[in-house]
Homo-oligomer: A and B are copies of this chain.
Amino acid sequence: MSKCEQCIVRQLNSLKTLTKEELSHLTSCKGDQIFKKGERIFEEGEHLKGVYCIKSGVCKLVKLSANGKDQIVKLTTKGDLLGERSTLSNEPTNLSAVAVTDMEVCFIPQVEIINAVSTNANFTIDMFKSMGKSIRHSDDLLVNMSQKTMKARLAATLLMLEDDFGKESDGSLSLVLTREEVAGIVGTATESVIRLLSQFGKDKIIKLDGKHISILDYDMLRMVSDGLD
């Protein structure tokens, strides 16, 4: 069981504002967990007993829509917290969390979070900031989803994937998703994703190598993402 004081990941989220005392206490009460690719961390409607801090791996937050298809609302990774708002507002989650890759996470009990909020003003402010960012993210996404064409949405998604997860030395996107998962982000059918991707390939905007995707022409991709093509 690793110590929170020495955890690098912690620097990436609101936990960075905790004092040494708070951290050492946290070490003693947190729990470490492993989730394998495809496993579910929690389920839509579940009542969470604390937050999860991601040490490694990638997780998708999904919501089942009326038509039975999963919509990926957000991808989270190293340093992100899961279930903060349910824990803080003491309400069931509205999303399910599913491991996209193998993951290491720390579980932090609700009491600790509530405690930190009521005694550490820095922590509170930081949580407000991160929730604010979350809302902004949702709003931006909302406008994208409702106003852009599928092509533009897919372009935006590819740019986002590179921005958030980087690329390998060969230039391909580090995070490898199934076509179905990409479709879940874009909000369309997998066939549409395939067709659009192959069109981008023909247009030399991206390069397809099996399931690996490399972006070749960033400017063009950005233009497509803005609907200017």
Interface residues of A (CB under 8 A from B): 63, 65-67, 69, 71, 73, 85-86, 88-91, 94-95, 117-118, 121, 124-125, 127-129, 131-136, 138-148, 152, 186-187, 226-228
Contact = CB atoms under 8 A, between A and B. Distances in A.
> In the complex, which of the residues A94, A125, A143, A187 has the most CB atoms of chain B within 10 Å of its own CB atom?
A143
A94 B124 contact: no
Contacts of A124: 117-118, 124
B118 A71 contact: no
B65 A128 contact: no
**Interface of chain A: mostly helix, strand, loop or mixed:** helix
Nearest to A126: B89
Contacts of A146: 65, 71, 145, 186-187
Given A65-B148, A66-B227, A85-B132, 10 more contacts: A63-B140, A65-B143, A71-B146, A71-B147, A85-B135, A88-B128, A91-B132, A94-B139, A138-B138, A142-B145
9 contacts: A65-B143, A67-B147, A69-B147, A73-B139, A91-B132, A117-B121, A131-B135, A138-B138, A145-B145
Contact of A131 (B66, B131, B187, B228): B131
B140 A85 contact: no
> In the complex, which of the residues A125, A133, A135, A138 has the most CB atoms of chain B within 10 Å of its own CB atom?
A135
